[in-house]
Structure 1
Amino acid sequence: MSEVKISAEPRTEFGKGGARRTRRAGKVPAVLYGHGEKPKHIALPAREFAAAIRHGGANQLFAIDITDGTQALALTKAIQRDPIKDTFEHVDLLLVRRGEKVTVDVPVQLVGEPAKNTLVMHEHDTLSVSADATRLPESLEASIEGLEAGSHVTAGDVTLPQGVELTVDPETVLVVVSAAPTAEQLDAEAGVVAEEPAAEEGAEEGAPEQPTEAAAEQPVQA
């Protein structure tokens, strides 16, 4: 993964109000920390940061040029997003050095097609690995080509790039391949659901719901 150069400026306003003003100015509030240094609060340009994350993923490496004259090499450690606006609320950046090994979770992509009439179930969609901070893989591939029902793919089955090491048990199951349900099985399940009574025997249609015994015992407050 190549590093992305990005500019930043120190932040002097903190708290929710300061963060909102930073975002309204088209910037993302962020904090730099690591290597025993005092955390440094900065603001990143939102558009450039978003483009880098879309291209490089959550483990993007940044070469940060801060307007106070300092520079930093950092990895995205945690990203907070607005679930409605899909914008970046805050970013934690971990300081790293060239040649330093770091541990990150890398997305696993499935390649190939399993045997017919099978279902592929994900147990884990990321894999924890250790690698040089400047040579982190953007993703890893796990092959499911031709796998029959009853097969599985483990962490140890994934081919890792040179210099990348697993930090989890190689027997960790990533993918399980099972037999797809037959039409008869689907029909049988549908039949069981259809035969279930719509209401309990003796219940009157349209009758109001009765409170549970526990609820009925609660005292009424004036």
Structure 2
Amino acid sequence: MSGPALPPWRSVLAVVAHPDDESFGLGAVLSAFVEQGTAVRVLCLTRGEASTLHGVPGDLDAVRERELVDAAKEIGLVGVLLRSYPDGGLAAVALDALAAEAREAARAADADGIVAFDSTGVTGHQDHVRATEAALAAAAVLDLPVLGWTLPRTVADTLNVELGSSFAGHDDDAIDLVVPVDRTRQLRAVTCHASQAVPGSVLWRRLDLLAGREHLRWLTTPSAPAPSTERTGAPAPAATSKDWITP
């Protein structure tokens, strides 16, 4: 296992499936990038409209967009690109289309690297798996490194036993970076997602178990890009300045 430092990227794109993934999952990692001076942007592929949690009144489509923008401000993101692919249905969306979205967003951000959930999806949600597949396919075309957020196997196993969840973790020898984090920004961002941060959520127990550390794996590096079937796919419309939401 290597040292705790994050890569010294000038700009990073995080690719996630749902509003709140940037906070509940990646929040401490993204804020650590922000604190070292990295310009961080997020591409979110769905609006989270199919969530079974509804901690505040209102149409989730609109509520969760507002929550995402507010959370992005707390983390210190430069911009957010919110798309409207079907929540809960990303696996049925052509990988070419999703990868093109990630590729164009990474180009627009002039990203030095991409951050995503681990290739397992971490939580068991297939949308998370698909979002990472899109990130990896885009990175293969652009020759960019991808860092995947993951959990130690001991933490995943504890959550699954205690709460009946479906987290996937890794043994220590499969984890590349163990990064000390300050969760102040992350916790402020989480509170912005009032529709999802309900009492009793598995989130709180996970944060207890992780304490002040986050765990990352290199999913691909420029010298060893991930295989892709996306290279010949039709390009997505380039992300313009009006598409990016500035928190």
Interval containing the TM-score (normalised by the shorter chain): under 0.3
Q: Determine which structure has the larger strand proportion and give its number.
A: 1
Q: TM-score, normalised by structure 2?
A: 0.21
